[in-house]
Amino acid sequence: MPFDFKKAYKEFYMPKDTPQIVNVPTANFVAVRGKGDPNAENGAYQRAIGVLYAVAYTLKMSYKTDHPIDGFYEYVVPPLESFWWQEHSERINYADKSSFCWISVIRLPDFITKQDFDWAVDSAAKKKKLDCSSAEFLTICEGLCVQVMHHGTYDDEPQTVAIMDAYLAEHGYANDFSEDRLHHEIYLSDPRKVAPEKWKTVIRHPIRRLVVAHETD
């Protein structure tokens, strides 16, 4: 059977409905950066997703081409993920989607090198007649994070985030957002096929452990 990241790494793709602390290892991704409302029809975000899947599936099917990849094994393309932020703001303002900045990504198996990636970008562009120049080979190390499974629409996420924040406060942690550590979502449902109230989205935030000062005599 093809290797399935969701099944092999359930702790990162299938979290509980209550917050949990995880240490996320370094991984490689095909990524596209952009700005703007993700719901805009044929907008930058929608076009980025097209590029991501074009490159990801070119790599997945590479074993049927004349480009052999060392160590290749068949696998299921992992789910779409995105990192979100708004300039000059630590928190996400869901009411102002036009100011969203994002990095949309799909995870790559470890055997895929930058050279393999470059081949796939070029091949996808030629085969799909699609400009894939925005795709980049991106290595991300998230490290210590809190995550939870969110059920429902994306606009309802603040309720889930509030539960995550309360959990951190209770257990001696704090959010640790920065330019390199961002609000992270992993999409486990296809919004074209699943009713909004049944959507499943992993929400993951970077955190740090608080240092507790001990009183001395």
Token look-up 């050279």 returns 115
Confidence of residue 213 (pLDDT cuts 50, 70, 90): low
Q: Is the overall model pTM greater than 0.85, yes or no?
A: yes
Contacts of 154 (CB under 8 A, 6+ apart): 94, 185, 199, 201
Distances (CA, A) of 102 to 9, 114, 130, 214: 24, 22, 21, 40
Confidence of residue 73 (pLDDT cuts 50, 70, 90): very high
**Average pLDDT value for residue range 141-149:** 98
pLDDT at 91 over 90: no
Residue 195, helix vs strand vs coil: coil
The pLDDT assigned to 165 comes to 98
Separation of alpha carbons 55 and 121, rounded Å: 6
pLDDT at 215 over 80: no
pLDDT at 70 over 50: yes
Average pLDDT, the chain: 95
The pLDDT assigned to 146 comes to 98
pLDDT at 78 over 80: yes
Handedness of CA 140, 26, 54, 198 (dihedral sign): negative
The pLDDT assigned to 214 comes to 55
Separation of alpha carbons 2 and 141, rounded Å: 25
